[in-house]
Amino acid sequence: MRSDAAKKGLERTPHRSLLYATGITKGEMGKPFIGIASSFTDLIPGHVDMRALERFIERGICAGGGVPFVFGISGVCDGIAMGHSGMNYSLPTRELIADVIESAACAHQLDGLVLLTNCDKITPGMLMAAARVDIPAIVLTAGPMLSGRWGGRRLSLVRDTFEAVGRYGSGKIDSSELENLEINACPGVGSCQGLYTANTMACITEALGMSLPGCATALAVSAKKKRLAYESGMRVMELVEEGLSPGKIMTLPAFENAIRIDMALGGSSNTVLHISAIAKEAGIELPLKVFDKISRETPHLTALRPGGDYFMEDLEYAGGIPAILNVLSEKLHDCPTVSGKTIAEIARSGEVFDEDVITPLNNPCHTEGGIAILWGNLAPQGAVVKQSAVSEKVMRFKGKARIFEGEEPAMKAILDKKIEPGDMVVIRYEGPKGGPGMKEMLSPTSAIVGMGLADSVALITDGRFSGGTKGPCVGHISPEAMEGGPIAIVEEGDEILIDIPKRRLELLISEEEIKKRLSGWTAPEPKIKHGWLARYSRLVSSASTGAVLEGGKK
């Protein structure tokens, strides 16, 4: 066993003494040691109920003949961190999470891992660690939240709180309705109810083969989720016995499957960053053109919020990810999974119970997948848009630039009604280096929607968006402004063209003028000069390569 390095032999007498101090028995000393990387916290709704799941995982590990050790992982709730300086920390925590798991697993020579996760950057951070450490591992995502209820209708976080801010600002709802929405939209534990980043990453994890079938959509409040926790604990012991590590599961074909499922679902644009980063840890190159190629070949099959009206609970009852795999089976690679079944076997067992929620191939929501990659003189290294959440009316949009050097002044201008139809809101210096941390900007995009401007105003940025963003909003523009990308030299009133069908993002000025402006550009002072974020900004790569830490390159 790997853990023998820390517990076997004469020279490990003091090590065993310390292990006995944790309460384990002499009989357990000869069993595999399994780490449970738990992201339990009282700060995140998707994580507050994880103590119960930890117990079920422990029971499964013990039943399978192992010894469980819980260790803690930090996390950020993107919804709570949104719209202020806290959001600078969200994406960087992904790297911290991977580093902490690597540290715990390697320092203690663990034989296997169960990765208990749920929300936005925590799930990809754990998958990055699994790929890096490459010991038998299984992921348990803690599950989606139930829809809220008020006034005879179902509620979700984004549409009924973030977008409600804009509706209130434009006089469409009063303070009483706003208060009822905020207290009823999120009724309890779980990841937010739509196909936002947390739930998209859960679906990708299952499609990638790193969690058990049915895990992604099993609701946080369900007994099914507890059974999956127990079964994950049992199964990790079999993975240890079989020597089946993430490197044998997270292969290029498996990543292509995961991207295809993402496109069919119409998932969060953040997944481009996260899948790229996980693949990099697995030693696999996934250029942006792969995402776009798969998107063009894959129909969009589910109209979940924000791009539609269905919720994660509807996807669960319609058959979940196994049902999606079934519909797309002819387009998928047959790959191994942590369950012991192959993707083809899981797909054959999947069944669609509601074709309104999971549409057939001959009647999709859209003929292309959820995400499109744009290129052009404004994004030489690419940009990302969630095309499944863009109205047909504005798939091609030309507007006049309104320049904002950060999220906060843009948000103020929107709420002060200084943004008009035909405007192209440009938010820059919010990329991985410039933010730093590539802030997620759901507040301004939701305010635009809430104020009734979704089909008449576009927003582009070198930052990123929540999975809850909808409308003609283009993010991840690379190179970012802080690196001297063309977005840095856009001026007030410049015309910009977004053409999603043709995959173009163009600044409509001459190449000579672009070169002239770039030659006169100088980088501004970093916004943060001390602490973790200052180090992060010096080391982080471009969004086009996953915004990963590069190890000290200048």
Catalytic residues: 466
Domains of the chain, each with CATH number or no CATH = 31-146+188-349 (3.40.50.2300), 149-184 (no CATH), 371-545 (3.50.30.80)
- pLDDT of 466: 82
Written as six digits, the tokens of 190 are 């779980």
How far is Cα 232 from Cα 214, in angstroms, rounded to an integer? 12
- pLDDT of 408: 94
Instruction: Check residue 342 and report its DSSP letter.
Output: B
User: Within 13 Å of residue 553, how many CA atoms lie on the same side as its CB?
Assistant: 7
Instruction: Check residue 145 and report its DSSP letter.
Output: P
- pLDDT of 553: 38
Q: What is the pTM of this model?
A: 0.96
Helix (H) or strand (E) holding 379: strand 379-386
- pLDDT of 469: 85
Q: Exposed/middle/buried for 328, CB within 10 Å: 0-12, 13-18, 19+? A: buried
- pLDDT of 83: 86
Helix (H, G, I), strand (E, B) or coil at 221: coil
How far is Cα 235 from Cα 245, in angstroms, rounded to an integer? 12
- pLDDT of 552: 40
What is the block-wise mean pLDDT of the chain (554 residues), using blocks of 10 residues? Answer: 97 97 97 98 97 98 98 95 93 97 98 97 98 98 98 95 92 96 97 95 98 98 98 98 98 98 95 97 96 98 94 98 98 98 98 98 97 98 95 96 96 95 98 96 91 95 89 96 98 98 98 97 95 96 95 44
How far is Cα 158 from Cα 305, in angstroms, rounded to an integer? 9
Are residues 287 and 259 in contact, defined by beta-carbon separation less than 8 angstroms? no
- pLDDT of 554: 34
Instruction: Dump strand ranges (E) for 23-105.
Output: 33-38, 67-72
